[in-house]
Structure 1
Amino acid sequence: MRVFYFTKFPPLQGGMSARGLFTALELGRRGHEVHIFSDPLAAASHERVNAAPLRELFDYVDHKVTIHFAETDEHIFYRRHPGGRPAVSQLASLALSVTDEHRPDVIFGSFMEPYGIAAYLVSKVTATPLVATHAGSDIGRLMRARDSQFLYRQVFLDSSAVLTTPRHSAYLALMGVPARKLHALPVPAPAWAPNAPAAPHDGPPTVLMYGKLPTDDSYIRHVIEDCAHIGVRTEVIGHIAWPASNSTDDATTLPTSPFVWPWKIPGLISESGLVAALRSSGNAEVQHHHGLTPVEAAAMGRAVALHPSDAANFHMTKLGLPTSHTEMMKLLGAQDARRELIGLGQACFDWLQEQLASGVIGLVPFETYADRVERVLSAPDEPADDRVVADRVTRLLKAHIPKGADTQEILRERRQAYRPSTASLHHIDSGADARIVRRVPMRYLELPEQQFHIIAQSAGSHPHEHIVAQSAMALLEAADGSPKRAELDPDDITLLHGLMSRGLIAVCDADLLPSKNEVPSLSRIEPSHG
């Protein structure tokens, strides 16, 4: 089959970029014609592999796939464009320009902005089946933005199939995406994962830190300084994920090396004795968003220093790995540190093999993942096994609905939330008018004593829950545009600000907002995860 694949792609750095590369190569190896549409050359220097020329990439790909890269924003035609680089238009136009000669059988859109949207546009123009997939930040961050929600949801609704995760499948189903379209895929192990751990590194242990560096680099500095004190070498590869500017000079003053090509990662890891996994502060608001650095280190048989939450997430707490700076330095400073690191590395490798065999945490060999992707791309209209989705939806509802409640009877979905409209409020005392809009999709449960249990979420794995009174519910109803105009009582002003501070609505008139000491508290339920 001929696949038009819109995706992040090297030299753009990151896990989704590497997955795009290795997925395309695997499909090409299996005899499919794959065309890549991407725009890594337009990325800022801190977002891409600092390697030139691109010959190394093309030599590695070796004609297994055809690469179509969009122009950079340095081109004279894009300079001073008030809306920034037209990424969607570039990618869609680039793909449409080759459809006469290379008519696609299926379009594969990965990472919604801009690739998934460009894929959706080309799918509509060419009447070609679309298979959409997403990253954690698509669902956890971008889809929380009010003005993107309707289009993103429409892409999922109109796709022939959606490749998602077991966790996200339930939220997409609650959005209205048919369960038969939702293919819940496991997470693939690295495509380059060897069958045996790499030989132990000769010489003193080296601590490797790589990937998107956190904006607060104090942890990395602490590691470098303490390792130098005990004679342990450190190597830091990457850049701060979201620096204040796009200048590499402004990104960090740490002694770092630039990103490397994805296929060189195993060589880097094998030269280390310990991999210190980093957590990007840019993803702090995306719950359950974990990088795969521990898995990559385990694949090479190297010990990992983990953040405590990552250790629990990957079921690695029983391996005896260091989960704090103090524990890591104690391990590195031990008299028999090399022997202990080799033992922990072997334990990590054995752990990964057990996970790949059991599938308990959703990790599978890359070939197994590619099998599933190939199957869906080859027959996008084949229904998925919706039992997985149905089970996830049931568990999700049980986690968020009061005990004993009939979920089928009292869960009410407000579809207007996906169509943000502006409503007008009239303040009775001052005579001022304000405009309000809903910020996020919302469902609610009616409770006794005119209270409402609100579940505000946008298909991500982080629903925000609140208990509000009838007066607050009336304002939320008004924010949906029903009714288009509502009278605002004097006491509702502070309540309005409370709803705004929770991110439930946006108010377009600052004059109606009270001072901070007048803002009431809304009852907030901490989310639980099913």
Structure 2
Amino acid sequence: MNICVIGKVPPIQGGVSSITFDLVSYLANKGHHVSVVTNARSVESAYRETLQEEDWAFRHYGRNKNGGSLRIVDVPTPSRAYRHIPDGQPFLTQLTGVTLSVARGSDLILSYYLEPYGLAAWLAGTVLNKPYIIMHAGSDVGRLMNRSDLAPTYKAAIRGSRAIFAGLRRPFLGMGLSEDQVVEIPPRGFSSWFTSAPKQTRDGGQVHIGVYGKAGQKKGTDALLLATAKALDQGADFHLLLLGNGYDVYKSMIHELGITENVTVEPFIAPWKIPQFIDRCDAVAFLEYDFPIKFHSPGVPYEVLSRGTCLIVSNDIVGRLGEPRSAELPDQNLIEVDPRRPDSIAAAIVSICSRVENAHEIGSRGRDLADWVGDSSQWNAFVENKLQLACAPADTNHYGWSSVVGWLSRSTKADPEGMLEKLWVEWREVDAQSFPNSMVEAYAFSKYLEERALQDIGTSELKSELKLDSIRLWQFMDCQDDYFAEFDNGPDATDDQLHPLVTSHWCTTEVDGKELIFFRTPNLIQAPVFEYGPDLKALVRVCDGRTPISRIPDEIGLRSTDVTAMLQRLYDQGVIIYVRRMPDTEEN
């Protein structure tokens, strides 16, 4: 196949860039001709990898022995000639324009990450009449698509695609895509260079604890630096290696903690050189916690484990690593810590420094976890197969009871006599309309039952469970309403100028004796559910776009700190936005 890919590649740092380059290299080695259109050379310094001459050569390797080829097409870095007001980088226009030329001879266009790559694929694919496929990550659909002013554009691009490669099916089925259009991709292993590079063993000396990737509080950076100071105070002899570009803001903290001599900061490097960094360390920490995007699945832990290096990992992440054995057991294969408690990290470091050979043994056993996941070759082959099948026509007929019943799990458990199936058969005989997918059909059936059939048929338990199933499906049904409200929450806005506004659709029902409120957010993914107690009821009532934050505590009789925490939670979930308006004027 001739494939045009729009996305991130090195020197952009991060998982999406690394995954994209690994995938296109695989496709080229399988005999496909791949052209990558990217704005990677324009990435800002905070997220730029330092590539050496041999790295650039590796990035541009051209044709290979299997007859395939890989070409990286870098769009120009915007200069003064691109200047416009308001100032901004015209990346979407650049990527689209270059793709219009590059993709003319391509069989299809593949993009990875919605902004701006998925949108560029949408525009170029539409102009060229080429099938385009969008693959999403975590932060684009979890954060960007949950903003009410961005979501309509992303959804339009997704609906027009030949397929969306998704980690979650429900939100995209709820947008009305066909079953064939939503391709659920499996978990991905680590890139092949983590197992192909020979292991470089440590030759003793001072213990090295390493970290690589983005820095920040939720990445555990603050906790790690505090733990470093505590461990050094307890007599541990080690050096902390920080690989990344985001540590400038931590210079003063490192100095104030008195750990400057024990910390080295190095810039981001090419992803295929990360194995060498891991091999320099006796243990590598990955301490991400309280990450707002719950379905985000970082790859760093498996990369570390694949090298047979001891992994220090947060308790938030450890549950996603298959079935790792506890760090307290003799056959432990990782060390679990709580980044909310720097003392737990310090204790792990002290333990490693006291008997570093134990850490090496833990790392060797940890490789079993990496073997359980495997490298990325199987995932790459899956994507390759789906690209080849991308032109298959979609089935828009109804899908049969066996498909529909899967979306009504609570109702069917309360229906041992199988009455729902009989009602579904009767309904389909009367209503023969086509549905884009089985989830939309299940929702239409639930509404039919709720509004008509179960008024006189069915137990109270079945009615209750059906109501909950229907609401759960409703949370994923895109009504295509205008979620957007005009707002301006600039950095100079004060609490007197910011007015919380509920932009999500919501409804309430009683479950197990508790009243719950269900929200439908713009990205159809968060699906937040809260207990609808008196405090939340009062808060939702005043989130009308007219009540400023400064007045809300007095309006509903709660402390300012409690109101701030509740508003932050609703904002993070995409339930509210902040509207900045001038005071209302009276009409003459």
Asked if Structure 1 and Structure 2 have the same fold, meaning a TM-score greater than 0.5 normalized by the shorter chain, the answer is yes
Aligned to 1:310: 317
1:146 Cα deviation (Å)? 0.7
1:129 Cα deviation (Å)? 0.6
Instruction: Return closer, same or farther for 1:395/1:227 CA change in 2, 3 Å cut-off.
Output: farther
Aligned to 2:61: 62
Aligned to 1:98: 102
Where do 5+ consecutive residues of structure 1 fail to align? 245-252, 357-363, 424-433, 480-490, 513-530
Q: What is the CA deviation profile of residues 154-185 of structure 1, one whole-angstrom value per residue up to 9, with x for unaligned ones?
A: 222211111111xx222322333333211111
1:81 Cα deviation (Å)? 4.1
Instruction: Return closer, same or farther for 1:195/1:267 CA change in 2, 3 Å cut-off.
Output: closer
Instruction: Return closer, same or farther for 1:301/1:475 CA change in 2, 3 Å cut-off.
Output: same
Tell me if structure 1 keeps the 8 A contact 2:7–2:37: yes
1:457 aligns with 2:521: yes
**1:419 equivalent among 482, 502, 521:** 482
Instruction: Return closer, same or farther for 1:473/1:128 CA change in 2, 3 Å cut-off.
Output: farther
Instruction: Return closer, same or farther for 1:366/1:83 CA change in 2, 3 Å cut-off.
Output: same
Aligned to 1:330: 350
Aligned to 1:341: 359
Aligned to 2:244: 238
Aligned to 1:370: 380
1:323 Cα deviation (Å)? 2.2
Instruction: Return closer, same or farther for 1:113/1:321 CA change in 2, 3 Å cut-off.
Output: same
Q: What is the CA deviation profile of residues 368-422 of structure 1, one whole-angstrom value per residue up to 9, with x for unaligned ones?
A: 1111111111121337999999898667999xx9962445655646755642365
Mapped partners of 1:509, 1:289: distance in 2: 35
1:289 aligns with 2:289: no
Mapped partners of 1:19, 1:274: distance in 2: 24
Letter of the 1:286 counterpart: I
Match of 2:116, SS state, is: helix
1:257 Cα deviation (Å)? 0.5
Mapped partners of 1:164, 1:313: distance in 2: 18
Tell me if structure 2 keeps the 8 A contact 1:189–1:295: yes
Q: What is the CA deviation profile of residues 105-127 of structure 1, one whole-angstrom value per residue up to 9, with x for unaligned ones?
A: 01001111111111111111111
Letter of the 1:509 counterpart: R
1:277 aligns with 2:297: no
**1:77 equivalent among 78, 81, 88:** 81
Mapped partners of 1:78, 1:264: distance in 2: 34
Tell me if structure 2 keeps the 8 A contact 1:107–1:128: yes
Mapped partners of 2:184, 2:304: distance in 1: 25
Aligned to 2:148: 146
Match of 1:82, SS state, is: coil
Instruction: Return closer, same or farther for 1:272/1:472 CA change in 2, 3 Å cut-off.
Output: closer
Match of 1:123, SS state, is: helix
1:510 Cα deviation (Å)? 5.8
Mapped partners of 1:119, 1:463: distance in 2: 28
Letter of the 1:261 counterpart: A
Q: What is the CA deviation profile of residues 400-454 of structure 1, one whole-angstrom value per residue up to 9, with x for unaligned ones?
A: x99624456556467556423659xxxxxxxxxx9999765535355599x8732
1:203 Cα deviation (Å)? 0.9
1:38 Cα deviation (Å)? 0.8
Match of 2:284, SS state, is: strand
Mapped partners of 1:402, 1:42: distance in 2: 57
Mapped partners of 1:44, 1:404: distance in 2: 51
Matched positions, count? 465
TM-score by length of 1: 0.75
Alignment of 1:45-444 (within 5 A): 45-51=45-51, 56-63=55-62, 64-73=69-78, 75-79=79-83, 81-99=85-103, 102-165=104-167, 168-190=168-190, 191-194=192-195, 198=199, 200-204=201-205, 205-215=207-217, 217-225=221-229, 226=231, 229-240=235-246, 255-279=264-288, 284-314=291-321, 315-318=323-326, 319=332, 321-324=334-337, 325-334=345-354, 336-338=355-357, 340-353=358-371, 355-356=372-373, 364-382=374-392, 404-407=465-468, 412=474, 415-416=478-479, 418-420=481-483, 440-442=503-505, 444=507
Aligned to 2:22: 22
Match of 2:73, SS state, is: strand
Tell me if structure 2 keeps the 8 A contact 1:376–1:382: no
1:44 Cα deviation (Å)? 1.1
Tell me if structure 2 keeps the 8 A contact 1:170–1:392: no
Tell me if structure 1 keeps the 8 A contact 2:408–2:466: no
Q: What is the CA deviation profile of residues 236-280 of structure 1, one whole-angstrom value per residue up to 9, with x for unaligned ones?
A: 100229979xxxxxxxx974110000110111112221111142x
Tell me if structure 1 keeps the 8 A contact 2:410–2:465: no
Letter of the 1:239 counterpart: N
Mapped partners of 1:439, 1:41: distance in 2: 40
Aligned to 1:528: none
Tell me if structure 2 keeps the 8 A contact 1:437–1:507: yes
Q: Which is further off, 269-278 or 29-38?
A: 269-278
Mapped partners of 2:275, 2:159: distance in 1: 39
Larger radius of gyration: 2
Where do 5+ consecutive residues of structure 2 fail to align? 63-68, 251-259, 327-331, 338-344, 413-461, 487-496, 546-551
Mapped partners of 2:14, 2:294: distance in 1: 18
Tell me if structure 2 keeps the 8 A contact 1:183–1:384: no
Match of 2:35, SS state, is: strand
Mapped partners of 1:436, 1:154: distance in 2: 29
Mapped partners of 1:6, 1:439: distance in 2: 35
RMSD in angstroms over aligned alpha carbons? 4.3
Mapped partners of 2:182, 2:21: distance in 1: 23
Instruction: Return closer, same or farther for 1:440/1:81 CA change in 2, 3 Å cut-off.
Output: same
Match of 1:98, SS state, is: helix
TM-score by length of 2: 0.68
1:507 Cα deviation (Å)? 4.2
Mapped partners of 1:452, 1:343: distance in 2: 49
Tell me if structure 1 keeps the 8 A contact 2:148–2:522: no
